[in-house]
Structure 1
Amino acid sequence: MQTASFSTQRVDPYNPPADHVRLQQGGSITQVPWPNTGTIWVVTKHADVRTVLGDARFSSDRALPGHPMNSGGYVTGAQLKQLIEMDPPEHAQHRLRIMGEFTVKKIAAMRPRIEQIVEETIDAMLASGNEADLVEALSLPVPSMVIADLLGVPYEDHGFFQENSATFVDADTPVEGRIAAMGALKKYVGELVQSRVTAPGDDILSRQLAAGADPVELTGLGFLLLIAGHETTANMISLSVAALLDKPELLQQLRDDPSLVPGAVEELLRYFTIADVGHQRLATADIEVAGTMIHAGEAVYAFANVANRDPDVFPEPNAIDFTRGARNHLAFGFGPHQCLGQNLARLELEVVLSAVVRRLPTLRLAVPFGEIPFKEFGPNYGVYQLPVAW
């Protein structure tokens, strides 16, 4: 067992945390110290990460004693469990009810509305002058408005919804401000759910209530959709545009052949793999992974970020190749807890990148790439600001 722990700090904007890379180079699976459990097994190879995430015997229930994400704050019965914290059969029952909202067909039908949102957001950005912070002007507003549409947020409440969403995910906001924004959003979603009990509409909350969802449970799900679908997509928009502006040859590829955009989305998702937490599990049985026996009660951490740089699966993994065909990446996880909204995230990224390439031919960084303030620590990788000009 290694005696040194590891850091999630990213010192190179184009690479996973150096300690994650080091652990992969040291072997497929390694046991290292961990604050809550004493030790944790770190899994780094693509095939082995799939094994861990695909096996429900590696529990996602953070309320279990010994789970690596249980810091002692869970009290049985005092906290409503989220979908991402459930194990079978409970997880399958809850996920099955919501899955129909995120099918490829259902999400594809949202394309015209998402295109409208993106076009109007870019219109507003261009009308503001000849420079902007792309995070504030484009990356945050687009997913916020898309999620607002999904939840059926009335138009007159969009300002409140976007403002508090942006505050909650802004790491620069003091903790007290983020907690206040979270409270305001949870209260708002709860009131929205209650309004749909008596006056159903054409939105995901109304359909889930009709399918038998409990209003309290649905409030938690609505808030989870808001957070999971907002910050991650916003970060990917910012990182993707930053990379294209820093590497103009990549941007030119998309201008020369816009049909490459869907492949570019998959490759950028693989390359950045922005979620550095969330793939932590607790073994509930003795399970062998990569020739190593992980015993029941031991903690496991699956590193999707370095698994997506596994040279056995992705030749020249540190290069960005829009023709790679990287759909087998693990940026959305794998197995029963694979990201519910992945089809929506893909569509938003495709529409945004297509619009940026088409509508902003003179877009450029307003500061040197080295001065962009990247988020060095998790939970989700991204940038704080992205100053651009045109």
Structure 2
Amino acid sequence: MSEDAEFRHGPGTTTGTFHTTPTGRTTMTRTSDPAAESTAEVPEYPMPRARGCPFDPPPALRDLQRETPLTRVRLWDGSTPWLVTRHADQRAVLTDPRVSADMTHPAYPRQAPGGNATLSFIGMDDPEHARLRRMVGSAFAVKKVEAMRPMVRRIVDDAVDDLLDGPNPTDLVEAFALPVPSLVICELLGVPYADHGFFQHNSRTIISRGTTPAQRDEAFGRLARYLGGLVAAKLEDPGDDLLSGLGHRIRAGELTADQATATAVLLLIAGHETTANMIALGTLLLLRNPDQLALLRDSDDPAVATRAVEETLRYLSIAHGGRRRVALEDMEIAGRRVRAGEGLVLPNEIANRDPDAFPDPDRLDITRGARHHVAFGFGVHQCLGQTLARLELEVVYRTLYRRVPGLRPAADFEDIPFKHDGFVYGVHELPVAW
């Protein structure tokens, strides 16, 4: 039988395609008769996680990945984009030039109602996406980020000192996970850390599902005015920071003030919110898996921490709600036809648990080679700050658990509040003691 042999079962009711996976498993992609599909119930998205299993993807996503890897789902506004659940299919979509990330496209499957703010280049297509991304890309190059390692080590060590000198028990989110990346991104951008309460509050408002469109726009406006003011000040008195670099681009006529401000807002929010949530959630995951934590804590091999970072990124996938795209041309995904102008949702948390990409995917294994995960996306829109995020996590993993070997949860697991209500997954607080 060929790898793509067509099959048909019954008198025109169900069709599909056989596929042979990289591990040799033969699977069957089902395609329903159009008349039957139009009357079928379309599941709501996003889907709830199982009670008691907050680290794992929703069970419904597992079922879809196994049985119907491309299916329609219903969003908050009644639209029914396609849900892409398999790792290989997501990587193919994210590198396909027939797919758009343009948030202004009328068929773009939006995460929430309203909101006039588009976060700079992440909601654009090339060539404008590439042009704007290049304006700040050099600051996140591998050599530039590696040169920041001593600064990151100092920030992490100081944060551990403050943790140990503070109350016991305490909330690890406020005492450690949030300050570390906030201090790092403030130094990189040239933002005063003294203003962290202001930008953290507005960032949380923007990424909360419970925020109204008006509240989201107001929070974005407050951050835009604040960062726009900093960029303007650095036009007059530049320093050795990224906001000063944006000011230089304005003077050269390469950026407008609004473009520079939108980029600054994106970098500030993404630069602290995602890593902060990963530090707290990753710590809780490791505390719940003491054998893996011991492997990490007791090893002097830096490669162990590097692999642990990749595995926890794969296992947790804190980008919550799926990457969003629009098909610009007719195309085929997982054996089914997607028409031009149809939306696509790609939940990375289930792609990173695909058994065809990661054997025994529900087992946390920090010795696993998991670098091919899609926690940072894939293709031209892959996360700009991923190298910095990896560095911060690696330094935290090699420092916190050694210096605080008695670290333990100070609350029952079922009482820890997870961020089911956010576009970035994590915990609202993590009580710990030592």
Please give the TM-score of this superposition, normalised by the length of structure 1: 0.92
Select between 371-380 and 52-61 the one with higher mean Cα deviation.
Answer: 371-380
Going from structure 1 to structure 2, the CA distance change for 1:16 and 1:174 (only over 3 Å counts) comes to closer
2: CA distance, partners of 1:88 / 1:81: 15
Q: Tell me whether 1:231 sits opposite 2:265 in the alignment.
A: no
**In structure 2, the residue corresponding to 1:254 is in which secondary structure?**
helix
1:349-371 Cα shifts (integer Å, max 9, x gaps): 11111111221011111112222
Equivalent AA in structure 2 for residue 136 of structure 1 = E
Which residue number in structure 1 is paired with residue 184 of structure 2?
146
**In structure 2, the residue corresponding to 1:30 is in which secondary structure?**
strand
**In structure 1, the residue corresponding to 2:287 is in which secondary structure?**
helix
2: CA distance, partners of 1:104 / 1:73: 37
Which residue number in structure 1 is paired with residue 363 of structure 2?
319
Equivalent AA in structure 1 for residue 178 of structure 2 = L
Pick the aligned partner of 1:308 from 352, 362, 369. 352
Pick the aligned partner of 2:262 from 217, 220, 242. 220
Pick the aligned partner of 1:158 from 185, 190, 193. 193
1:113-152 matches, within 5 Å, as 113-152=151-190
Equivalent AA in structure 1 for residue 71 of structure 2 = T
Which residue number in structure 1 is paired with residue 99 of structure 2?
58
1:235-246 matches, within 5 Å, as 235-246=277-288
Select between 3-12 and 41-50 the one with higher mean Cα deviation.
Answer: 3-12
1: CA distance, partners of 2:430 / 2:372: 29
Going from structure 1 to structure 2, the CA distance change for 1:70 and 1:130 (only over 3 Å counts) comes to closer
Pick the aligned partner of 2:120 from 82, 104, 124. 82
Going from structure 1 to structure 2, the CA distance change for 1:141 and 1:174 (only over 3 Å counts) comes to farther
Query: What displacement does 1:304 show?
Result: 1.3
Pick the aligned partner of 1:167 from 169, 186, 201. 201
Which residue number in structure 2 is paired with residue 256 of structure 1?
298
Q: Tell me whether 1:46 sits opposite 2:83 in the alignment.
A: no
Equivalent AA in structure 1 for residue 270 of structure 2 = A
Which residue number in structure 1 is paired with residue 48 of structure 2?
9
**Which structure's CA Rg is the greater one?**
2
Query: What displacement does 1:35 show?
Result: 4.3
Please give the TM-score of this superposition, normalised by the length of structure 2: 0.83
Equivalent AA in structure 2 for residue 225 of structure 1 = L
Query: What displacement does 1:26 show?
Result: 2.2
Which residue number in structure 1 is paired with residue 9 of structure 2?
none
Equivalent AA in structure 1 for residue 280 of structure 2 = S
Task: Give percent identity, aligned residues only.
Answer: 45
Query: What displacement does 1:38 show?
Result: 3.0
1:245-282 Cα shifts (integer Å, max 9, x gaps): 12211111112214311100000000001112351111
**In structure 2, the residue corresponding to 1:38 is in which secondary structure?**
coil
2: CA distance, partners of 1:5 / 1:383: 26
1:313-367 Cα shifts (integer Å, max 9, x gaps): 1000000111111000000001111100000110111111111122101111111
2: CA distance, partners of 1:80 / 1:311: 35
- Structure number with greater CO (CA < 8 Å, separation at least 6) is 1
Query: What displacement does 1:47 show?
Result: 0.6
